[in-house]
Structure 1
Amino acid sequence: MLNKNVSILLIDDNDITREVLRVVLRSEGYNVVGEATDGGTGLDMALKLRPHIILLDVVMPKISGLEILPKIKEMLPEAMVLMVTASKDSETVSEAVKAGIHGFILKPFNAQKILDTVEGVVAKIK
């Protein structure tokens, strides 16, 4: 599967984080199909766009990433979810793993870390 055929949805309340993710992913030919600033909007977009990969922030206003993660996995079981977080506490990691995530992108991150993590998930799609 070529990168341009891989659709990615970004769900993060931080404008700068979304911009960095978008620029890095698009620079490698990935198709960033949408962006949401909160969990509720992100879930709606995920259901509408049905992306291959969802980059999901943990801490967001209204509904957190951990709150919508089970709903995403239930409604879109084929979607690969990567949590984007600065939180390394074992409770957050454990809860996300139990809910079925496919990996973490820890903040602060650099372009290589983003690409390595996404490429590892893309290899599972192919």
Structure 2
Amino acid sequence: MLNKNISILLIDDNDITREVLRVVLRNEGYTVAGEATDGGSGLDLALKLRPDVIMLDVVMPKVSGLDVLPKIKDMLPDTRILLVTGSHDKEILSEAVKSGIHGIILKPFNAQKIIDTVAGVAAKIKK
């Protein structure tokens, strides 16, 4: 399958969200390289794994997705970042877009939305 070389890091504090993402992505042939439950540990794992794509939640304990987003962009400029959020707050979404995210998946989501959004970003990754 075409997606085998794309590695993805999941950063979300919700176990069920991570599990759904993991199952859907693996079924599509992507490699889920790692998972983290907050922005701080997510940044550490991102620097270690250097994934092609990071799926990043906004609201998390300790360090939020918006707090860690600029650091990820600065340290891993080639990594594509997809925001995964239940927030429909236009200000938060606007801030994320200005920070350079590559897409948004709004919760609640379905498998097809995940597949389509990740495929659109993965198609632009040069391997």
TM class, shorter-length: over 0.9
| Counterpart position of 1:9 | 9
1:66 match: 66
Moved more, 86-95 or 44-53: 86-95
- RMSD of aligned residue pairs (Cα, Å): 1.0
> Unaligned regions of 5+ residues in structure 1, if any?
none
**C-alpha distance in structure 2 between counterparts of 1:28 and 1:124, whole Å:** 17
- Report the Cα distance in structure 1 between the residues aligned to 2:100 and 2:5, rounded to whole angstroms: 23
Structure 1 residue 124: deviation in Å? 1.0
The residue correspondences of 1:6-85 to structure 2 (distance < 5 A) are 6-85=6-85
C-alpha distance after superposition, 1:56-108 (max 9, x if no partner): 00000000000000000000000000000011111011110111000001000
Secondary structure of 1:125's aligned partner = coil
Report the AA paired with residue 95 of structure 2: E
Normalising by the residue count of structure 1, what TM-score does the alignment of the two structures yield? 0.98
Equivalent pairs, count = 126
Q: Quick check: 1-10 or 56-65, which moved more?
A: 1-10
In the other structure, the counterpart of 1:108 is 108
User: Which structure 2 segments of 5+ residues have no match?
Assistant: none
Structure 1 CA distance for aligned equivalents of residues 90 and 29 of structure 2: 34
Matching residue's letter, 1:105: I
CA distance in 1, matches of 2:105, 2:57: 9
TM-score by length of 2: 0.97
Runs in 1 of length 4+ with deviation above 2 angstroms?
none
CA–CA separation in structure 1 for the residues paired with 2:58 and 2:2: 28
